[in-house]
Amino acid sequence: MQRRQALTLLLGSVAALAAPFPALAYEVSKSDADWKKILSPEAYDVLRRQGTEAPWTSKLEYEHRKGVYACAGCALDVYSSETKFESGTGWPSFWKPLANAVQTSDDRSLFMDRTEVHCRRCGGHLGHVFDDGPKPTGLRYCMNGVALTFKPAAA
* Residues with a known catalytic role: 142
What is the enclosing helix (H) or strand (E) of 117? strand 114-119
How far apart, in Å, do the first and last CA atoms of the chain sit?
62
Could you give the strand order of the β-sheet that contains 140-143, starting from the edge strand earlier in sequence? 84-85, 93-94, 140-143, 125-130, 114-119, 102-107
CB 67 within 8 A of CB 108: no
CB 79 within 8 A of CB 94: yes
